[in-house]
Amino acid sequence: MCGIVGYTGKKEACAVIIDGLKKLEYRGYDSAGVALQKNGRLVIAKGAGSVADLEAKLGDQFKAVTVGIGHTRWATHGRPTDENAHPHSSCNDEIALVHNGIIENYRSLRQWLIDEKGHKFHSETDTEVLAHLVEEYYAGDLLAAVRMSLAMVEGSYGLVVLSSHEPGRIICARQDSPLIIGLGEGENLVASDIPALLAHTRRTIILEDGELASITAQKVDIYNADGCLIEREVFTVTWDIEAAEKGGYDHFMLKEIMEQPAAVKETMRQRIDTTTGKVNLSELDFTAKELSSLEKIHIVACGTAYHAGLLGKAVIEKLAGIPVEVDVASEFRYRQPLLKEKQLVIVISQSGETADTLAALRLARQKGLKVLAITNVVGSSVSREADQVLYTWAGPEIAVASTKAYLTQLVALYLVALYLGETRGSIEPELAAEIVSGLKSLPGHLKTILSEESLSSLRPYCDHLAKWESAFFVGRNLDYPVALEGALKLKEISYIHAEAYPAGELKHGPLALIVRGIPVIAIATQKAVLDKTLSNIHEVNARDGAVFAITQEGFEDVARQVDSVFYLPSINDILAPVLSVVPTQLIAYYTALARGCSIDKPRNLAKSVTVE
Ligand code: F6R
């Protein structure tokens, strides 16, 4: 999620690092910093703010320095402050490091380092434990100290480390967070993303999970998880800088769609206890009494986040047995909702800055209700003003059309529903276990859905859809909010007028618009209403509409009814919306592509709507 650059060579390290960090800044960061090796010491400069602020602070002071590491932060653990900015250093200031990812067991490690080893901490971050661990294990070989430290750690990391005792040497390690080594002539680099390297080299080595590397100006040694020196293939980057920012994809939207398996995994990480299989939302501190006495929940959000809320309603009602009302935030604040004791308000917002959502949050708090925020941005207005926050760990979302943030909002809502159900004793343990195991299977299923083969199977239908100015999305039960989200995505990026209907509503009016060839996307993943949905599909077929069905493996009847069908891996119906929305995102994307639309920045829209 954050940006990392490390350099060792003959050039001015500061300039190389600052330039590299700027190439990564398109994701929108909140703090930046560097650690430089200067005359046998480490110098750290860091703070909240942009890379340009850091550059101004550094000025010309370090022109002679040729080794250093740098970081731009997208706050996760701890607010965007000077102290929480990376690099973090050890007590003796002899180790400095930058880190992307999450150290899951940082609390216990921190306690151990303070109580047993006398370390002093300066930040709220999980990362700082790594600096103290490396100091603890350092005995003359930085690589060995990093390896021993990582053996203590659970979580994910792209980690780059410097020691004042080892001039010219950078150590890095990767687990579930990308790191790429750039191979130069008399210089070498490391970065979390390719754009930061391209001004210096196109020859790269992409580190794999579990690998560590020792980098000097002359040499790059790579070690596998067992500590053996290995040979790695060199990957020559042919993308230009713009394509590289998008990870080689044509648009941020497609990149973000492809990031969904990782985003979903990240949002579940640490929140499902691997030994008990129970949901563990230790970041929330509602009392059991507060939760047991809840009589109603209001979910309030806008746009895509509102669609997540509609699914949240269904899932919370089903798993926790609490009645839920869902409101569009701009309506909630003016409809004088009946807000009473024993009610909870959940606001959902990717940006955490949406004006209407923020106003709804304030209204609820004014009326004395507690507000739980589900948001993607640490330090956002919503996160600061809510009583409790559950972060989605989707990472920065650049495309205006929300995709990966939406999926992580759904996952957060499933976790909340399970948490409420388990605390209130309203969910059968077998059902809870089934949902937890289904949640764990999501990243794998999403990868299957995003395979090359699946993507190309959608393209012919999108080429057909691209010729129309109107389309329908239909679904029943949990498929209906997915239909709404699919229609919204298609509208906003392809400019095709799309309407979503509960499938049973077709014959109450919209059927009049069904003519030969009109695109109708039918979501049919819910067993209990499958036959009903099929009969609605039949109504469209009878009028020669062009139906594209999205269903689960095993529902073979669907293929017999329609020309085009997309099979999702089989999953518990409650979780199917997390999978079924993905083909609708892809349909919107490829249709907009076929129409030559401005996909990442659709006309008239902004990523964050901070006005009413
Ligand atoms: C659609 C989309 C918008 C946002 C809405 C709320 O793709 O992105 O509908 O979902 O503007 O934004 P957040 O979640 O930032 O409050």
In order, the DSSP letters of 466-493 are TT-SEEEEEE-TTHHHHHHHHHHHHHHH
For atom 16 of ligand 1, the residue with the nearest CA is 349
pLDDT at 238 over 90: no
CA of 377 to the centre of ligand 1 (A): 13
Residues with CB under 6 Å of ligand 1 are: 302-305, 349-351, 354, 357, 401-402, 488, 492, 608-609
For atom 8 of ligand 1, the residue with the nearest CA is 402
- The DSSP secondary-structure symbol of 529 reads G
Instruction: List C-alpha distances in Å: 238 to 206, 252, 425.
Output: 15, 18, 56
Tens of pLDDT, residue by residue over 56-114, are 999 988 989 999 999 998 777 778 889 999 999 999 999 999 999 889 899 999 999 99
Question: Parallel, antiparallel, or unpaired for β 170-175 and 157-163?
Answer: antiparallel
Indicate the length of the chain as a whole number.
Answer: 612
pLDDT at 557: 85
Instruction: List C-alpha distances in Å: 564 to 470, 479, 519.
Output: 18, 18, 11
pLDDT at 78: 75
Extract the tokens encoding 431.
Answer: 């059902």
Pocket probe for ligand 1: among 346, 375, 402, 495, the residue whose CB has the most ligand atoms within 8 Å is 402
Ligand 1 atom nearest to CA at 302: 6
Contact 165, 210 (CB under 8 A): no
For atom 5 of ligand 1, the residue with the nearest CA is 303
Instruction: List C-alpha distances in Å: 158 to 171, 354, 599.
Output: 11, 32, 30
Ligand 1 atom nearest to CA at 401: 7
Question: Parallel, antiparallel, or unpaired for β 95-100 and 67-73?
Answer: unpaired
Extract the tokens encoding 410.
Answer: 């759904």
Tens of pLDDT, residue by residue over 541-569, are 999 999 999 999 999 888 888 889 999 99
d(CA 107, CA 129): 9
Contact 70, 18 (CB under 8 A): yes
pLDDT at 28: 60
CA of 101 to the centre of ligand 1 (A): 25
Pocket probe for ligand 1: among 354, 357, 381, the residue whose CB has the most ligand atoms within 8 Å is 354
CA of 133 to the centre of ligand 1 (A): 41
pLDDT at 87: 97
Extract the tokens encoding 24.
Answer: 């990564």
On the question of a cis peptide bond just before residue 261, with omega within 30 degrees of 0, the verdict is no
- The fold for domain 255-447 equals Rossmann fold (3.40.50)
For atom 11 of ligand 1, the residue with the nearest CA is 303
Pocket probe for ligand 1: among 252, 253, 302, 358, the residue whose CB has the most ligand atoms within 8 Å is 302
Rg (CA), the chain: 25
Tens of pLDDT, residue by residue over 129-182, are 999 999 999 999 999 999 999 999 999 899 999 999 999 999 999 998 889 999
Contact 435, 414 (CB under 8 A): yes
pLDDT at 612: 65
The count of other CB atoms within 10 Å of the CB of residue 531 is 10
Beta-bridge partners for 474: 501, 522
CA of 305 to the centre of ligand 1 (A): 6
- Whether 607 is catalytic is yes
Question: Parallel, antiparallel, or unpaired for β 324-328 and 180-183?
Answer: unpaired
Angle at 315 between CA 410 and CA 284, to 5 degrees: 65
Q: Which of 403, 408, 406, 407 is nearest to 391 (CA)?
A: 408
CA of 489 to the centre of ligand 1 (A): 11
* CATH node for 451-594: 3.40.50.10490
Ligand 1 atom nearest to CA at 609: 11
CA of 38 to the centre of ligand 1 (A): 46
| Residue range 380-395: mean pLDDT, rounded | 93
Class of CATH domain 2-245:
alpha beta
- Whether 597 is catalytic is no
Ligand 1 atom nearest to CA at 304: 10
pLDDT at 40 over 80: yes
pLDDT at 27: 64
d(CA 442, CA 445): 5
Q: Please report, for the chain, the start and end positions of each structural domain, with discontinuous segments joined by +.
A: 2-245, 255-447, 451-594
Mean per-residue pLDDT of the chain: 94
Q: Which of 394, 369, 428, 430 is nearest to 308 (CA)?
A: 394
Same fold, 255-447 and 451-594: yes
Ligand 1 atom nearest to CA at 400: 8
pLDDT at 79: 81
On the question of a cis peptide bond just before residue 323, with omega within 30 degrees of 0, the verdict is no
Residue in 2, 14, 462, 597 annotated catalytic: 2
Tens of pLDDT, residue by residue over 198-217, are 999 999 998 988 999 999 99
pLDDT band at 1 (very low <50, low <70, confident <90, very high): low
Q: Which burial class, exposed, middle or buried, applies to 47 when counting CB atoms under 10 A from its CB (0-12, 13-18, 19+)?
A: middle
Contact 320, 426 (CB under 8 A): yes
The count of other CB atoms within 10 Å of the CB of residue 177 is 23
Ligand 1 atom nearest to CA at 409: 14
Contact 346, 416 (CB under 8 A): yes
Contact 212, 223 (CB under 8 A): yes
pLDDT at 611 over 80: no
Ligand 1 atom nearest to CA at 406: 10
CA of 19 to the centre of ligand 1 (A): 32
Identity of the amino acid at 306: Y
pLDDT at 77: 73
Residue found under tokens 């750039």: 182
CA of 441 to the centre of ligand 1 (A): 27
